[in-house]
Every structure is written in C-alpha cells, then in structure tokens.
C-alpha cells in the first residue's frame, strides 16, 4: 500500500461574518499530498462561542459534512489507478445567506477534480433552525402547491437565457419535484434556489440561481414554520 505523505493545517481565519446577535467565523483547512499529488483547500462556517446545544449542533453538522466529503475525495486519491499527471483537487467555499440568533442559512460549494476534462462543483445548503436544533427542508417551511409555484417561476426565469436554455431540459430540471429544489437558502429578499451543473443548463452556462419573491409564497407558508415566528 502506498503511503500518502501530507501537510495538514487547520485554523480559524480572522475574517468573520457579523449578524444580529451572532458571529460566524471561517475555518480554513489545508492539506497537500506529496507522494501522491493532491490539494485540499477548505473554508467552512463555524458559529463563534457556540454555547447552546443548537449552535453546537450546527457547527457539528457542517464540520461532519466537510469531513465526510474529504474522506470521499481521499478514496479517489488512494485508488490504485490514480494518475498524478495533474494533482487531484478538493475545495470547499461558502456563503452566508442569512443569520441571526434563531436561524442560519448557508450554502457550501464543493469542487472536485479527479481527472478528466474539468472538475465538478456541487452546491449544498443548510437552513438551520437554532430554536429547535434542526436542519430544515422546503417541506418544513411550505405546504400545498408550493412546488408548482416555485417551479413555474424558476422555469420562466431560466428560459430568459436565450443562448443556452432548452425548454425540455429546463422543464425536467426545474419541474415540480422536491429533489429539484433541495439546494435552497432563505435570505431577506426571498427564497434562493440553487441549480446544479447540468441540472437545467449545459456546463458552459454555469450554475444558475433563481430568487423567488416572498409574495409568491405567502399563501403556502406553513403556519408552524420558522417563517411564521
């Protein structure tokens, strides 16, 4: 078995995000392989001074997720057929959409390069209810025909891309199915839907985001949801 020699650094970056009643630090993790060439560069959020079960729960959810993805990447690195002409890469970055003492909404972008023409980026979102220590799904926030409302609006917006949009492709990737809208964030402007590479447009078009205005969803908000507190 080949031994993987690496350099690992884990530390808190001084840059932080400050919101109403909550501070979010950036954790930076670096790892570099020597005998097998690869690079890991990870940035992820961590609530500062996490003194409650829910803030610790959020931090654990994020750190466990990042570690799970890193382990998956390392399995490719240590595979017997690994070709090190180009270093494999695993990167994670993030954006905070919204945060206060009750709720945190973040998106993490993972990038993998394990050979081939180009790497792959995936958006993962976390919408954490700090009151109930729970990561929320769309079905925890909305009811009724909310999928149809979100789908109709997203399809209309994506079809404005005259260069890349194909009607059948867009309708499949943004149709009214829960799995099409798993990557979402809540912010002050509304509901942000993140579409993955190839989900609704070709690779060259990138990963479109669609902001669904809150007024479109007023009639389908669950009465017991975070949005009604």
Q: What is the 3-state secondary structure (H, E, C) of the chain?
A: CCCCCEEEEEEEEEEEEEEECEEEEEEEEEEEECCCCEEEEEEEEEECCCCCHHHHHHHHHHHHHHHHHHHHHHHHHCCCCCCCCCCEEEEEEEEEEEEECCEEEEEEEEEEECCCCCCEEEEEEEEEECCCCEECCHHHHECCCHHHHHHHHHHHHHCCCCCCCCHHHHHHHCCCCHHHHCCEEEECCEEEEECCCCCCCCHHHCCCEEEECHHHHHHHECCCCHHHC
Range list for CATH 3.90.640.20 in the chain: 138-228
Averaged pLDDT of the chain: 89
Range list for CATH 3.30.565.40 in the chain: 6-135
142: closest CA among 127, 156, 155? 127
Percent of the chain beyond pLDDT 90? Answer: 76
27, 43 in Cβ contact below 8 A?
Answer: yes
Confidence of residue 2 (pLDDT cuts 50, 70, 90): very low
Q: Which two tokens stand for residue 123?
A: 């958006």
Q: Look up the CATH architecture of domain 6-135.
A: 2-Layer Sandwich (3.30)
As a CATH number, domain 138-228 is 3.90.640.20
| Most confident among 1-5, 55-59, 115-119 (mean pLDDT) | 55-59
Residues 161-197: tens digit of each pLDDT = 879 999 999 999 999 999 999 999 999 999 999 999 9
Comparison of pLDDT for 200 and 18, the residue scoring more:
200
∠ CA(70), CA(71), CA(72), 5° rounding?
90
Place of tokens 């507190």: 229
This model's pTM is above 0.85:
yes
């Amino acid at each position: 078995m080949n031994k993987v020699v690496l350099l690992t650094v884990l530390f808190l970056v001084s840059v932080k995000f400050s919101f109403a009643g909550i501070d979010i630090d950036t954790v930076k993790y670096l790892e570099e392989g020597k005998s097998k060439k690869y690079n890991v560069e990870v940035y992820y959020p961590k609530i500062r001074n996490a003194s409650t079960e829910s803030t610790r729960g959020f931090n654990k959810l994020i750190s466990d997720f990042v570690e799970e993805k890193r382990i998956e990447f390392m399995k490719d690195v240590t595979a017997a057929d690994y070709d090190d002409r180009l270093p494999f890469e695993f990167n994670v970055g993030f954006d905070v959409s919204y945060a206060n003492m009750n709720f945190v909404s973040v998106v993490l972008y993972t990038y993998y390069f394990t050979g081939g023409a180009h790497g792959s980026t995936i958006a993962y979102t976390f919408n954490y209810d700090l009151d109930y220590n729970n990561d929320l799904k769309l079905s925890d926030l909305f009811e009724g025909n909310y999928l149809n409302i979100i789908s109709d609006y997203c399809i209309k917006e994506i079809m404005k891309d005259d260069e890349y949009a194909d009607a059948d492709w867009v309708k499949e990737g943004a149709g009214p199915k829960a799995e099409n809208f798993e990557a979402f964030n809540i912010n002050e402007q509304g509901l942000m839907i993140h579409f993955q590479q190839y989900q609704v447009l070709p690779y060259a078009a990138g990963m479109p985001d669609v902001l669904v205005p809150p007024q479109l969803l007023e009639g389908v908000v669950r009465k017991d949801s975070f949005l009604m507190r």
